[in-house]
Every structure is written in C-alpha cells, then in structure tokens.
A and B are shown apart, each in its own frame.
Chain A
C-alpha cells in the first residue's frame, strides 16, 4: 500500500524539502544544535507512532477482505468473493438508499442541533448556558446501549409518548412509529449532537470578533453577520463534524439493528451482519465494506485537504484580542434559554428518567401508578454484586485517562504538521490518522489480538493492549479536534514567538498549547467518555484480570433483565457525570473553559 511506504520513509522526503515554502518557519532550534530541523523530527516521530498503531490493523482489514480463512482463523485463499457480494448488495437499491438517507439525515440534523446549541452557549448572553456543557457531558457519559433502550422504551408502541399522543389525538393505534427511518435518524442525531456541540463550541470560542465587528459596522444585522461571516469562518469545523458523523453513521450498526430492523428498514450494515452471521464467523464482507469506505473517505479527505489548503482564510485567532464578543439577544435570550432547557430535557432528562424508572422496578412496566407500588432496589444490589465491579470501574477510568491524554498529545503534533508545515505527502498522514475511523471494531479487535499474540511484546492479557487499541481507535477524533482548532490559530502568533527567540518546544508549550486549550480539552474529555463506552474491541481484548465497564454492561445487555442493566447504567452514568463535573469545575476555575 502507498500508505505504508510513506510511513516508513517520511524523513528522506522531508530532508530535501526543508520547508522551502515557508520561510517564516524555516529554522527552529531544538535547543541542541543539530542538522535535523524540528518539523522533520516531529514528522518522523509522529509518523512512526501513528504507523505503528494504524498499519497493522489496516493490513489486517485489507487482508480479511481479500482472503478466505480456515476454520482455525488462518489465512487461506485469495478471493474476490466478498467484494462481489458487496457490489451485489450495493445494487439492491433499498438498503443502499436507506443507508444514504440515514447518514445524511443524521449528519445534517445532528450538526444543526449541536451547532445551534453551541452557538447559543458560546456566543450569546442566553441564561443557563452552563446547562449546555452539563447536558453534553452527561448524555455522552450514558452508555450507548442504555441510551438506545431508553429511547425505544420512551417512543415505543406502548411507551409514554405514544400513550399521551393517543389521548391527545384520540387515536386507537400508536401515533409515532419509532421503528422507522424517522426514529433511526432522531436517535442517531441525538446521540451525536453532544459531539457536535463539544467540537463546535471549541471552534465558536476561537472566532475572530473583528470580522464580525466589521460586518456590524457596515450595518449588517446579526442574522446577516452570522450567515455571511460567522458561519463561513466555521466552514472547516462544520465540514469536519459532518464528515465524521456521516462516516460513523454510514458504518454504524446498532441503531439500524435495534431501531430500523424491527420496522423492516435495512441498511448496508444490517444486511452484511445478517448475511455474515455464520459458523464459523466470517468477517470478509465487513472487511470489504470498510475497504470501500476507506477509498471513498480517502477521496473526500483529499478534497477536504485541498479546500483547507488555503487555511489562512480560516485563521481567526490572531494576535489581536480574539475573545469573541457576546451577542446580545435582548428579549430573545429567554427563547434561547428555553431552547437550552428543551435540549437538555430531550437529550438527557427523558432517557435518563426512563432508565432510572426501569432500574427501580422488578420488571419493566410503563410509567404509571402501578409501578410506584412495586419500587425496589434489588437491581442495584444485583448490579453492585456484579463480579469485579470495582476493578472494572478502576480499569475503565485508567484507560480513559491514558487514551485521552496520549491521543490528544499525538494528534496535536500531527495537526501541527498538517496545518503549519508544507512537508509533501502530509495528506497521507491525515489519511492515516483518519483510517481507524473506518475499521470495523471487531476486525480491528481481532487484528490487535493476533498481532500481540505473535509479536513478542508482552501486552497480551494486560491493560496495555486495551490502551493501544483505544488510542488507535480514537486518533481520528483527536485529529478532528486539534486540526480545526489549529486552523483557526493564526500562524503569526507562533512566528512572533520564534522571532522573539523562543525554541520550538517553548513556543508549543507557551503559545500553541494555551491557545489551543478549548479544543484540546474538548477533545480530551470527548475521548475519555468515548473510551469509557468502547465495546467492540474490548470484548475480545479483556482478560479475566482486566475487566472493564463497557463489557460488563454488554454482558448485562445480552443476558440480564432490563432492570439490572439500567441499574448498572445509572451507577456508571453517575460516576462519569461526576468526572465531567469535576473536570468542568476545574476547567472553569483555571479559566480555560468559559469566557
């Protein structure tokens, strides 16, 4: 593969290329006099680490898609069968169109929703702005399966929403059918909107107010300014977010399976899953599907890269006081506040309440008086007796801290290379850092499992193997956060630092890192929460000595009753929300989160 070639020899390429195009950044000193300039060294380190993490699973995914396997899992014969199957599947218009509508719908709706909330929270004087952050963190902390179940119970045929709507509209049957495309898009977008919020909030906060002020000075109304200035400046961030959600939704399986399938709405992933549900398990079709996606995404990224090549246009954080002005909404601020409350209720309170409700019942009943007579804590007792529950919580928290810190550090450097330097072929680094997004979790889990069984690095059966897997999996998210954050940072700030004689390292530490804090921390907490939920790789990589929470939840989901699952979920959500609140308080105190 072309990608592997680059990863092995980025240095030779960058030696002769020493930043010809970028005179201002031409020479940095590492403190130690050396003939290596900083970008080369950084590129070398980042590429080697990223390549080490990403290439083995990439190889494995491609291999899975091209070879049959023996019963033992060994590679057998070359075949194009999986691709033929896939193209046959693609020709069936139904699933393909469904997938398309589902991903576009979710990407658009989630971006609109999360974007509006981010704008209200960061840029306006609406009351209750803190609620936006709290909601985003808390709902993101809710384990995924639980969240979906909560929504199904709420919107189901016998659920409270349909119950009230039936009375309201005087209908006999259910009014809303959640097992539909509408239901899928709704739940998927709600699920992703905190991600949009966290990412766009970071971007909104680093917006250059001078352009908006100029617009206002020219007599433009708030709305005009927003449309013609603010939103355009935000283009890379919007694009990043939508691309990510589009891809994730395109390849997502859980919502289509749990929400779409009962209503006979099939997407590509459900078709592939149902066809591949065989003995012995075959991952060829899943592999072929992700290879195809990789090609599509590589093309998209290439264009994205060309688009943001003239990145200067989007640099909004300059040496001039860049803190964006707060837009005064006047009377509208109450409406904005009401919007925040509604968002919070819909995204967080309703599903959490129904899960809380399920957790205190001996068996699931629709909310009502009858249930109140049967309240019990036995599900909590059962959940707390779950084997090694404290170890699981400890391990999950450790993994979250480790993977979030490592990913953000690595991707900050990678983004710096992508945005600030002109090293040729750096779009391949961009591609490499985006690829893990496309690996099917189970194939990636297997790849990592096999790799460390064979390579004599003793991480098999320890927490380290999980850390390696998580870091690899979440590099793409880190890169989106740091990349759009760095794009907004005007390079003259850095240049000023070099001119003043600072070394590369101290410029990084004293200029870039502080200015990048919002997106850096946004990404950090995001990855922390995400890794707390990771499942598809963890189920393979955990050992009896290294239990993690998400696997425990999955076991409950597969085997236990809704009540026990809900009780465990409530406990875990409370823990994650506590972490988020502590983080938030900390961030506020040190003035890095809020204005």
Chain B
C-alpha cells in the first residue's frame, strides 16, 4: 500500500468510522438482541434492521401460496428490509443449514417447519428468543424455553370421495374405520412427518399403549394401501376415484378441492391429530434485528391474517381460519397437538411400529 500524505486524513476518518460501526454492531450479540425485553425494543430493532437491510428465511412453507404474500406484507411494513427465502422440505433445509454451520458459513436467520426447528435445536444451533407476541399464544403453541413460536396449524382428517361414499356412511370414529366394508378401500401416505406414522402416534398416545396396539392390529387387517406420495397426492387419487377413503389428510386440502367443485369432503375422528408449524431463530443469525422483526411480524395478528388469507390455519387464538370450521369449533373439539419435541423423540418409534405392523 502506498498512501500519499494528503490521503491520510480520509483513511483515518474511514478507519475510525469502520471501527465505530463495528463497535456498535458487536455491542449486542445475537443472544442479547433475541432476548431483549425493554420498552425501546422495537426502536432498537428497527434501527439495527436498517443497517442489516435483509433477512434470510429457510422455509418449508409453500412459496407460491404463503411465503410470497408474507414477504410482500413484511416488506411493506418494513420497506428497508429485503426478505430472502430458500424453500425445501424439512430434511433438506436442515441438511443445508447444518452443512453450512459446519463450514462456519452463517447465511440463515430463520428456520421453520413442523420438526425442522427441533432437529436444529438438538444440534445446539438455535437461539432462544423473546417476542412480545408469544404472550398471546396458549402454552401448547410455544416452547417454554423460548426456542420456537408458531405460525400455523395442521389438522388431520379422513378425506372421502363423495360419489363413492354417502355422507351417512362415512366412518365417523376411529372404530368405524374397522368396518369390513372399508377393507382394501383406504389409502394413506407413508410420510413420517404427516402420514401414517403420525396416525400411529396419535392412536398410541391417546388410546394408551395396550388399547392402541390392539386397535392398530385390527386396522392392519383392513389392508390399507400405502404410498410414498405426499398427502396431497393421495387425496388427489381419492378424488380421481382410486380409493374411496384417504386416511390422515390435511383438512384444508380437502376443503380447497371441495371449493373447486371436486367430489371430496373431510371427516374428523376425535381426538383430531394436529401438528404445529414452528418458527425459530438461528444461533448465529447474521441479521438478528431484522430476524426478530420478522418473527414478531409472522406471529402478530396482522401477520397471521396473511396466513389466513392464504388459506392456512393461523395459530393465533384470535385469528380464525378463512373457512372457520377447519379450526377446532363446532365441527370438532377434541384435538391432540403433537408437540414437535415429542414428535422428534417418539417419531422414530412410530415409524418403526408402522413398518413392523403395516409393512410385513
């Protein structure tokens, strides 16, 4: 470097500015920002986010349906932040994040999914956070230690083809599924996050181990067709008339198809299985201020309405679903919420049980 004397003042000034700005930025760690709980929190977050300018979200949500509307609404609220996203299924986004962390490449701020945040949490790469919004949610919809909040819920029901099954004949309870009439007439997905293993888990946990196992043995005799296709595809096969009943379907999928005129409807069996879409902060979030603003936003009533308009089922107790009966209410009351930690710890047992009983 050859610096002429007349350049020196500029260089010094630049260096000073750089040292100062670095000093300001490093004054607060990701942890401090995430757990900040003081009156001027919002002001500090906004100021920090203005410097960061962007936020990066690894998501399992569907871009076209909900991520883009959320991005638009969030960027309208905070025009100085640009939201970037990478979409993949739980396994992929976790693999991507873990591989990056091992290479000390910290790109991601926020990660979501039904089990992906828990998978990351077990590796120690999540940061606990505080959001004023969390106070508005019931205990089963937030992590007691503050590792995750939630944005939306999934409720499972039996989907049926209304041309092949009359409403009066539809199996109403889990026991009804054992009727000989349904032998060879049902299909479900083997997906460990949303298919048959979750069904197995609900039965074992709500009926008790003994009664649950007895029930599943009887259900095995019904010869349910299995597919590795997603729940959505299995429901589409039911709409096409391949199988009259599709077990363990998302109720909003059936509703969306029904609205389009498809011969399909959903029937809940109580207790209804529900999974929770959680959202979490990465340990070394490169844009912690903006990330906290985004977390606040997606859990706020305003953000939750974006989910609602996208036909997702908002977690916020005060925000109903666009089609109200998709959330607990008159159509079904008893719900079994599968806690993501329980799903992580017990999920493998459910998969094994499903493999041993239904695949042999």
Contacts and interface: CB of A to CB of B under 8 A. Distances in A.
B91 A281 contact: yes
Interface stretch (A67-75, A210-218, A404-412, A586-594): A67-75
A453 B103 contact: yes
Contact of A266 (B64, B105, B119, B359): B359
Given A74-B102, A156-B242, A555-B63, A364 B95 contact: no
Contact of B233 (A156, A385, A446, A557): A557
A274 interface: yes
Contacts of A571: none
Of A266, A277, A540, most B-chain CB atoms within 10 Å = A277
Nearest to A363: B262
Contacts of B227: 257-258, 261-262
Interface stretch (A128-136, A195-203, A395-403, A558-566): A558-566
Given A158-B240, A363-B262, A374-B261, A279 B344 contact: yes
Interface in B101-133: 101-103, 105, 115, 119, 122-125
A179 interface: yes
B85 A544 contact: yes
Interface in A435-484: 446, 449-450, 453-454, 460
Interface in A345-372: 362-366
A262 B233 CA distance: 13
A386 B226 CA distance: 30
Given A279-B192, A382-B64, A559-B230, A363 B239 contact: yes
Given A261-B226, A261-B227, A274-B355, A364 B240 contact: yes
Report the interface size class on chain A: 35 or more
B242 A157 contact: yes
Interface string B57-100: 00000111100100000000000000011111101101110111
Given A262-B227, A555-B63, A559-B62, A279 B257 contact: no
A273 B232 CA distance: 20
B240 A153 contact: yes
A555 B64 CA distance: 10
Contact of A560 (B91, B232, B261): B232
Nearest to A365: B240
A493 interface: no
Contacts of B101: 72
Interface centre among A153, A366, A559 (most CB of B within 10 A): A559
A539 interface: yes
B232 A561 contact: yes
A21 interface: no
A69 to B, nearest CB: 10
A552 B190 CA distance: 22
Nearest to B344: A279
> For the side of the interface on B, what is the size category?
35 or more
B99 A453 contact: yes
A196 to B, nearest CB: 27
Nearest to B100: A453
Given A158-B241, A364-B236, A273 B260 contact: no
Nearest to B232: A559
A453 B86 contact: no
B16 interface: no
A35 interface: no
A514 interface: no
B226 A262 contact: yes
Nearest to A273: B228
Contacts of A262: 187, 225-227
A319 interface: no
A275 interface: yes
Secondary structure at the A interface, as helix, strand, loop or mixed, is: loop
B33 interface: no
B34 interface: no
Nearest to B187: A262
Contacts of B92: 539-540
A262 B358 CA distance: 12
A44 to B, nearest CB: 31
B310 interface: no
A366 B242 CA distance: 10
B82 to A, nearest CB: 11
Contact of B88 (A374, A382, A539, A562): A539
A390 interface: no
A366 B241 contact: yes
A374 B115 CA distance: 39
Given A156-B242, A453-B105, A386 B85 contact: no
A450 B100 CA distance: 8
Contacts of A266: 359
A365 B289 CA distance: 49
Interface string A61-98: 00000000011111000000000000000000000000
Contact of B239 (A71, A258, A280, A364): A364
B86 A544 contact: yes
Interface in B183-200: 187, 190, 192
A490 B66 CA distance: 61
A374 to B, nearest CB: 7
B351 interface: yes
A261 B122 CA distance: 33
| Candidate in A266, A363, A366 with the most chain B CB atoms within 10 angstroms | A363
Nearest to B343: A279
A561 to B, nearest CB: 6
A290 B190 CA distance: 23
B229 interface: yes
A558 B230 contact: yes
Contact of B99 (A73, A274, A280): A73
Contacts of A560: 62, 64, 232
A578 interface: no
A266 B227 CA distance: 11
A425 interface: no
Contact of B86 (A157, A261, A362, A543): A543
B177 to A, nearest CB: 18
A544 B230 contact: no
Given A364-B239, A387-B63, A540 B96 contact: yes
Contacts of A366: 240-241
A277 B123 CA distance: 19
B222 to A, nearest CB: 13
B348 interface: yes
B190 A453 contact: no
A453 B100 CA distance: 7
Nearest to A385: B64
Given A363-B260, A387-B64, A258 B102 contact: no
B87 A258 contact: no
Interface of B: 62-65, 68, 84-89, 91-92, 94-96, 98-103, 105, 115, 119, 122-125, 187, 190, 192, 225-230, 232-233, 236-237, 239-243, 257, 260-262, 264, 343-344, 347-348, 351, 355, 359
10 contacts: A72-B123, A73-B99, A152-B237, A157-B242, A158-B241, A279-B115, A363-B264, A386-B64, A454-B103, A544-B85
Closest 4 CB pairs of A and B: A158-B241, A363-B262, A453-B103, A257-B228
Given A179-B225, A274-B351, 8 more contacts: A72-B125, A257-B228, A258-B228, A275-B355, A281-B95, A365-B240, A560-B64, A561-B232
